[in-house]
């Protein structure tokens, strides 16, 4: 008999409990006690949904807190003709959880890009010095195969930075002669160094 009375009492208690829609309407008016009741009714479901999406319990609790803050701030936007309060809240929870995943992924992507950008590329100074020295020796050897007149023109023009006119003035020869010596000297250098056209 006691069990039967307890069951009847529970039915009466559940029938007098306000619906989530009613609670949400009261929350929209700023009713803090209605917000507390709504929280007690739906928070476990919200946390469960968020936790299924995020996995991480601490982040799930944080996102659930943000969801209830949003419910408090936006309860007036709920429209009962568009769906039930539970659906509205659970949709909000799912969106917030997905937003957190996207935000976390964007943060990881940004950190990865910055890490790659800041990663110092190993640079072998010894190898670079050896390569420059070898190349310098090849050029010196090729230059030694030029005639003295070609070597003077190439050296003044390319190593000293003189213009063709300045080379002509420096060597006291016509400009056309300088151009011919440079052309012939460069052709010979190209052949000596094995550089393709």
pLDDT at 13: 46
Residues 6+ apart with CB under 8 A from 42: 20, 86, 89
Q: Which of 186, 167, 185 is nearest to 175 (CA)?
A: 167
Q: Please tell me the distance from the alpha carbon of residue 76 to that of residue 88, in angstroms, as a whole number.
A: 12
What pLDDT is stored for residue 197 in this prediction?
Answer: 52
Residue with tokens 């890490």: 115
Given a contact cutoff of 8 angstroms between Cβ atoms, the answer to whether 27 and 38 are in contact is yes
What is the pLDDT tens value at each position of the chain, 197 positions in all? 334 444 444 444 445 789 999 999 999 999 999 999 999 999 999 999 999 999 889 999 999 999 999 999 999 999 888 889 999 999 999 999 999 999 888 888 888 888 777 777 677 788 888 888 988 888 888 889 889 999 899 989 888 888 999 999 989 999 999 999 999 988 998 888 887 65
Q: Report the pLDDT value the prediction gives residue 2, as an integer from 0 to 100.
A: 39
Q: 10 Å Cβ neighbour count for 24?
A: 24
pLDDT number for residue 112: 83
Q: Tokens for 30?
A: 């700023």
């Amino acid at each position: 008999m006691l069990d039967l009375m307890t069951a009847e009492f529970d039915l009466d208690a559940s029938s007098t409990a306000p619906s989530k829609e009613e609670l949400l309407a009261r929350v929209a008016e700023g009713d803090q006690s209605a917000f507390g009741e709504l929280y007690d009714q739906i928070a476990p479901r919200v946390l469960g949904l968020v936790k299924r999406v995020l996995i991480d319990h601490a982040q799930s609790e944080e996102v659930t807190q943000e969801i209830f803050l949003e419910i408090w701030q936006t309860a007036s936007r709920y429209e009962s003709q568009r769906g039930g309060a539970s659906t509205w809240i659970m949709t909000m929870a799912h969106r917030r959880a997905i937003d957190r995943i996207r935000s976390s992924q964007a943060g990881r992507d940004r950190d990865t890009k910055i890490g790659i950008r800041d990663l110092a590329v190993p640079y072998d100074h010894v190898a670079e010095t050896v390569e420059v020295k070898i190349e310098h020796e090849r050029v010196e050897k090729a230059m030694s195969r030029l005639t003295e007149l070609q070597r003077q023109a190439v050296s003044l023009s390319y190593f000293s930075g003189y213009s063709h006119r300045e080379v002509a003035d420096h060597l006291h020869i016509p400009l056309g002669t300088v151009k011919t010596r440079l052309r012939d000297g460069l052709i010979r250098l190209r052949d000596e160094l094995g550089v393709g056209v």
